[in-house]
């Protein structure tokens, strides 16, 4: 999606994938810095490790406790730190890495765009309490949902999130069970659904699907998980995690280039590469 976006905007940039072992992450970031990279994306398991490696953290990485985007910045002649793209004529001697996180915004933007959902005042059933679940819960709380129902195989992890929400967002009601009545959104952050024979991430007996429930699955491959299939069969609105992938990428693109991301171009490139159409 990034290469398609660079081409659409006429930028002579390239986005490349590299594999690095976690124990070499520091060296990999250092290598990119000295070779004049504009920035990097990081994925599992590097997102948490990078917190202690980058030279500075943007507020987004501090809030979400993870780094998925790095921008390299150079010290300009008057002492300010600027993105490297603004210093091409006068290459800086000193370069630093700055960590950002675009994942949480990616989720909120995708819910807005793909489910047409404004989160303020909504009741949400969140399935899963791992890294992605925690970020989602906190993002939903910052967006002003009224109630969060947290369901996870390991109760202690859901309890930790509940405690964090109660402490930082006292106006959001966070409960540790299936809701007794309808919700506006069911959000899957577990890995259940990645494999074809996975169980559903929710207990249909405890909480049956209704047409009024919108269902979002962070999984995007397969395009339709068993959860989305069941929700659709019940008449509900559904969306998979492709939009989240798109929007976290679009935000990273803007952090690096300073230009508005061409969303349609990026979405088409993603769909072609992931689904082949």
Active site residues: 47
Q: Which lies closer to ligand ATR via its Cβ, residue 138 or residue 263?
A: 138
Helix (H), strand (E) at residue 130: none
Q: Is 58 within 8 Å of 241 (Cβ atoms)?
A: no
Q: Which lies closer to ligand ATR via its Cβ, residue 96 or residue 157?
A: 157
The least distance separating ligand ATR from the CB of residue 27, rounded to whole angstroms, comes to 24
The least distance separating ligand ATR from the CB of residue 64, rounded to whole angstroms, comes to 12
Among 243, 260, 248, CA closest to 5: 260
Q: Which lies closer to ligand ATR via its Cβ, residue 48 or residue 223?
A: 48
Q: Which two tokens stand for residue 170?
A: 């006292």
∠ CA 44-48-52 to the nearest 5 degrees?
140
CA–CA separation, 243 vs 223, rounded Å?
11
What is the secondary structure of 23-64 as a DSSP string?
Answer: GGHHHHHHHHHHTT-SEEE--TTHHHHGGGTSSEE-HHHHHH
The least distance separating ligand ATR from the CB of residue 100, rounded to whole angstroms, comes to 18
Among 139, 152, 130, 158, CA closest to 47: 130
The least distance separating ligand ATR from the CB of residue 173, rounded to whole angstroms, comes to 21
Q: Which lies closer to ligand ATR via its Cβ, residue 3 or residue 191?
A: 191
Those residues with Cβ within 8 angstroms of residue 137's Cβ, 6 or more apart along the chain or in another chain: 126, 129, 148, 150, 161, 164, 165, 174
Q: Is 25 within 8 Å of 65 (Cβ atoms)?
A: no
Find the residue with minimal CB distance to ligand ATR: 130
The least distance separating ligand ATR from the CB of residue 132, rounded to whole angstroms, comes to 3
Those residues with Cβ within 8 angstroms of residue 40's Cβ, 6 or more apart along the chain or in another chain: 29, 32, 69, 70
Q: Helix, strand, or coil here: 83?
A: strand
Q: Which residues bind ligand ATR (CB under 6 A)?
A: 128-133, 152-154, 157, 189-192
The least distance separating ligand ATR from the CB of residue 158, rounded to whole angstroms, comes to 8
Q: Which lies closer to ligand ATR via its Cβ, residue 21 or residue 153?
A: 153
What is the secondary structure of 180-204 as a DSSP string?
Answer: SS--SEEEE-SSTTSSTTPPPSS-T
Among 47, 45, 50, 21, CA closest to 33: 50
Q: Which lies closer to ligand ATR via its Cβ, residue 92 or residue 133?
A: 133
């Amino acid at each position: 999606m990034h290469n398609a976006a660079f081409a659409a905007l006429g930028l002579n940039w390239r986005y490349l994938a590299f594999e690095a072992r976690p124990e070499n992450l520091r060296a990999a970031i250092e290598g990119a810095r000295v070779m004049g990279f504009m920035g990097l994306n990081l994925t599992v398991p590097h997102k948490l490790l990078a917190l202690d490696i980058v030279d500075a953290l943007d507020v987004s990485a501090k809030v979400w406790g993870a780094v998925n985007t790095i921008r390299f910045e150079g010290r300009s002649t008057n002492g300010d730190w600027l993105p490297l793209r603004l210093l091409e004529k006068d290459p800086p001697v000193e370069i630093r890495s700055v960590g950002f996180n675009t994942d949480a915004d990616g989720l909120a933007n995708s819910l807005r765009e793909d489910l047409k959902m404004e989160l303020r005042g909504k009741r949400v059933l969140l399935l899963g309490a791992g890294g992605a679940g925690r970020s989602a819960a906190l993002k939903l709380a910052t967006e002003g949902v009224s109630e969060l129902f947290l369901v996870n195989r390991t109760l202690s992890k859901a309890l930790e999130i509940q405690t964090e929400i109660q402490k930082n967002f006292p106006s959001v009601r966070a409960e540790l069970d299936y809701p007794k009545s309808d919700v506006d959104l069911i959000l899957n952050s577990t890995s259940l659904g990645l494999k074809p024979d996975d169980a559903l991430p929710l207990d249909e007996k405890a909480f049956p699907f209704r047409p009024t429930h919108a269902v979002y699955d962070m999984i995007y491959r397969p395009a339709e998980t068993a959860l989305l299939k069941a929700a659709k069969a019940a008449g509900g609105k559904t969306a998979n995690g492709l939009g989240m992938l798109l929007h976290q990428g679009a935000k990273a693109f803007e952090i690096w280039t300073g230009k508005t991301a061409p969303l349609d171009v990026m979405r088409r490139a993603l769909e072609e590469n992931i689904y082949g159409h």
